[in-house]
Structure 1
Amino acid sequence: MTPDQLRAFCLDFNDAREEFPFGPEASVFKVAGKMFALSALDAEPLRINLKCEPEEAERLREEYAAVAPGYHMNKRHWNTVTVGGLPDRMVRELIEDSYDLVVAGLPKAVRLRLDRP
């Protein structure tokens, strides 16, 4: 997955936005103002921070060398994924899971507006 493909996939979700609150090198992808992904898209290797259920986060870290505790994040709830170290399909699933976790924490009216009850 290329940086452009990663950006396009993250922006394809309902109400997804890309912002740069940490400077121009760090793309922060948000839904309804809440972050679901963070990546320095020009970094080599390409990595992305993603929200994850705590138990699943630990399992993924144990099973895959490309998954580590979230860099500069709450390590219980965030993982840093080296994109090239996992199949693209799995990276897309992890991004979608992160988006869904963030949406699940939003008020019901916002979730309904996003078509994700």
Structure 2
Amino acid sequence: MDQKSVHKYLQDRPATFITQPFAQDVDVYKVQHKMFATLSEGKEGQVNESGEPIWWLNLKCDPDEALVLREQYPSIVPGYHMNKRLWNTIILDGSVPEIEIIRMINTSYDIVVDNLPTAQKEALRKMTQS
């Protein structure tokens, strides 16, 4: 998945909105004012075969799963500028299958939604049923 398709998928999660509290080049994706993802240009000058920048995606993760994913994929590393136990950074260099990225995005979103107060979860549920 490239930056554009990841952005579209993140943006399409129910009740998601985007802010840029850190910098203009860092999109922060939130649901009910809780962050579940960030997307930014890689900080190490990485480029793909076409010379375009490689993007980094930060996602929340179960701590045990985070470790397994890091072992399985070299381009999944501890969360850049995040709690390394609870966040992974996925370097979007094409080495992680799209289906796995989608699964990780959904997991991150669900972790945040599952931890919302009951009233906010109910409101979100109503919004998605409409």
Q: What range describes the TM-score normalised by the shorter chain of this pair?
A: over 0.9
CA RMSD of aligned residues (A): 1.3
Q: 1:2 and 2:2 equivalent?
A: yes
Q: State the partner residue of 2:15.
A: 15
1:90-111 Cα offsets, whole Å, 9 max, x none, are 1011011000001111001111
Amino acid at match of 1:16: T
Q: State the partner residue of 1:31.
A: 31
Q: State the partner residue of 2:49.
A: none
The secondary structure found in structure 2 opposite 1:17 is strand
Amino acid at match of 1:85: S
1:50-108 Cα offsets, whole Å, 9 max, x none, are 00000000111111111100011000000001122201111011011000001111001
Q: Distance in 2 between matches of 1:97 and 1:108?
A: 19
* TM-score (norm. length: structure 2): 0.83
The secondary structure found in structure 2 opposite 1:114 is helix
Q: 1:109 and 2:125 equivalent?
A: no
Q: Distance in 1 between matches of 2:39 and 2:27?
A: 5
User: Where in structure 2 are there 5+ consecutive unaligned residues?
Assistant: 43-52
Q: Distance in 2 between matches of 1:2 and 1:61?
A: 20
